[in-house]
Amino acid sequence: MTDATAGKPPRGGQMLAADGTPLKVSLRRAMRAQKLRALLLISPLLLFVLLTFILPIGDMLLRSVENDIVPSTLPKTVVALQDWDPKTSELPGEPVFAGLHDDLVIAVEKKANTRLGQRLNYEYSGFSSLMRGVVRDLKSMDTSRPFMEQFIEADKKWGDPAVWRTLKTFSGEYTSGYLLNALDMQRTENGIQMKPEQERIYLKLFLRTMAMSLGITFICLLLGYPIAFLLASLPLRTSNLILILVLLPFWTSLLVRTAAWKVLLQQQGVINDILVWLGLVADNARLVMINNATGTTIAMTHILLPFMILPLFSVMKGIPPSYMRAAKSLGANDWTAFWRVYFPQSIPGVGAGAILCFILAIGYYITPELVGGTSGVFISNRIAYHISTSLNWGLAAALATLLLVVVLALYWTYDRIVGIDNVKLG
């Protein structure tokens, strides 16, 4: 084919490239190569997101229902318990006790009995000490005697059907026990029920976390909107100087900022001293602003305020001042011009700042831990406690999973009401 005929349709009507290949095939091949190069360029980022974000979340979701320690450590006991009705008041038969004896002998050799006792202790208080006690008596048990009698002689709790109901309930490879516990619920012989009132702590923590995060976000909006409006209205030189003051907290550590508030807010701190000096507060009636919800609200508002101001300032900077002048020239007063013309155009910045503040607030840990006391801590503090202190990673994963579900639900609700497309960071 000559250059004169390249790209022209032959008799069949199909256009050909210079090398005689159909133009559609050649174009498809070029596009495929271009997509492959783009995929290779972003593959390190995709791998990074997979390893540091998706896999950890998947592992967290799995840990919230995983329960392989019981069936893997007590396989004979689990099989023997299948024929026992947990609703009855009678103890399981001799085969169950014999299977438990054989399983515990192997578990002691593999040093898995401690982890097993710890796992079951989450569901039945005292199970860990019960397991340690029977392990000490394993070597002295006589295989010619019934194991049921010997277990009950070692500890009378082995004669309590509640112990065996716990083993039966949590004998599967997967369990809903962690998630039920995170919702202040428990599985009993009568089905799923709420825990006693004095043992319900997690739902209160969830509600407190949501309420305080929304309150902190609202306060940040009330304080941040006028500041952002001022920054957008001032000349560039002046607004840059004020913007430096807004960004100044980022130049210090979060821990330092929180510790500073701890010094300021305590009863013998700077703020109370000033109030006493001004005569606004009596010296013997100083305000309690630390180790409570007030301290958490004040400190977190200061920390999160820049995250509200910056998106608002970025959006407001793009609103032409001529719109307000035009509204006023048409007879609108300052308030009407602002509310009818200016504010609707700043809503994308309000949405972006609100999302940033709320998502950051709902997962904060250090600030509530240092200044929150007992009434100002969040659910994240309880998650950290179970990870580092109680070592109940299953319950920590269940709490984190429920927190993730709540955030996604709120995000979906926000998208339905406001619309994510209306959110702008600049």
pLDDT exceeds cutoff 70 at 7: no
Shared-domain flag, residues 4 and 106: no
DSSP secondary structure code for residue 19 in this structure: T
Q: Which of 233, 417, 199 is nearest to 320 (CA)?
A: 233
Average pLDDT over every residue of 275-302: 90
Q: Which tens digit of pLDDT belongs to each residue from 76-121?
A: 999 999 888 888 888 898 999 999 999 999 999 888 888 888 888 8
Residue 279 above 70 pLDDT?
A: yes
The type of residue at 362 is I
Over residues 393-405, the mean pLDDT reads 92
Nearest to 372 by CA among 314, 275, 252, 288: 288
Angstrom distance (rounded) from CA 338 to CA 328: 10
In a domain, 382, yes or no: yes
Residue 35: inside a domain, yes or no? yes
Task: Return the DSSP state at 195.
Answer: P
Q: What is the pLDDT of residue 154?
A: 87
- Could you tell me if 363 and 400 lie in one domain? yes
HSE of 417, CA atoms in CB hemisphere, 13 A:
8
CB 158 within 8 A of CB 130: yes
Domain assignment present for 193 = no
Which residues touch 19 (CB under 8 Å, ≥6 apart)? 26
Nearest partner of 365 among 414, 398, 403, judged by Cα: 403
Q: What was the pLDDT predicted at 399?
A: 94
In whole angstroms, what separates CA 161 from the centre of its chain?
Answer: 37
Tell me if 403 is assigned to some domain. Answer: yes
The three-point CA angle 175-178-184 to 5° equals 130
Residue 410 pLDDT exceeds 90: no
Residue 17 has pLDDT above 90, yes or no: no
As a whole number of angstroms, the distance between CA 142 and CA 151 comes to 11
Does 188 fall in a domain?
no
Does any domain span residue 183?
A: no
Domain count, the chain: 3
**16 and 78 within one domain:** no
The reply to whether 162 and 229 lie within a common domain is no
CA distances from 26 to 2, 20, 22, 30, 246 (A): 18, 10, 6, 6, 55
Q: Are residues 75 and 54 in the same domain?
A: no
Q: Give the chain's length.
A: 426
- Determine the residue type at 4: A
Please give the residue range of the domain that contains residue 150. 69-172
Residue 374 is given by DSSP the state: T
Cβ neighbours of residue 342 closer than 8 Å, sequence gap 6 or more: 319, 323, 324
Average pLDDT score over residue span 173-187: 89
- Split at pLDDT 50, 70, 90, the class of 425 is low
Q: Tell me: do 272 and 360 sit in the same domain.
A: yes
Cα-based distances in Å from 367 to 207, 298, 330, 374:
18, 10, 49, 13
Angle at 368 between CA 365 and CA 373, to 5 degrees: 135
Would you place residue 1 in the very low, low, confident or very high pLDDT band (cuts 50, 70, 90)? Answer: very low
